[in-house]
Amino acid sequence: MPSRPRKKPYQKKSFESTGVASDTSANIYMSMRMSAAWKELTAKQRDLYSCCKAQYYAEKRKPNDNPLAFTMNQSKWCSLYGLYTINNHRMFYRDMTVLIEKGFVVCLECGNTTRTKSIYAFSDKWQRYGTEAFEVLPNEMTSSMLRKLRKEKT
């Protein structure tokens, strides 16, 4: 059986990248852009999601050996990506909470109590957003989301 020729790697276009080999991409497909969940995000929340995707592709070793997992901590969202200022961590957590509530991301491990990096994973729940089949489970929430949920129940 003859071997198939190797597929040529994608060549980045000059308007997409500076061309450095370590450059990562964070594609957003039209089905996501046109979804009800995406349309409810603010520009900053969309930017955070894009940075999460870039971080996901930049991390060669996945946290917890989960192929969908990535970490996002203050040094990344503040210094590396320049999304929020160092004294504006509340905005990061608010925006990440929205990404979880809309089904784009789940929290696997909240580093708040252990003072470690939080571990997140991508989710396809956004596809069911606004339907009866959509639900964010407690084990997918951050500790602050759980506290808020408990307060609402009492």
Q: What is the pLDDT of residues 41-60, one digit of tens each?
A: 999 999 999 999 988 888 88
CA dist 149 and 141 (Å) reads 10
Residue-level pLDDT at 2: 67
Is there a domain that residue 24 lies in? no
**Contact, 71 vs 117, CB < 8 A?**
yes
For residue 52, the enclosing domain spans 30-153
Q: Which residue has the tokens 């969202």?
A: 77
pTM: 0.85
- Domain-located, residue 50: yes
For the chain, list residues with pLDDT below 50: none
Answer whether residue 105 is part of any domain. Answer: yes
Q: Indicate the number of domains in the chain.
A: 1
Q: Which residues of 89-107 are buried (b: 16+ CB within 10 A; e: fewer)?
A: eeebbebbbbbbbbbbbbb
Distance, in Å, from the CA atom of 81 to the CA atom of 21, rounded to the nearest integer, reads 19
Which alpha helices (H) appear in the chain, and where do they start and end?
A: 30-33, 36-39, 43-58, 74, 89-101, 143-153
Domain membership of residue 11 (yes or no) is no
Query: pLDDT value at position 31?
Result: 96
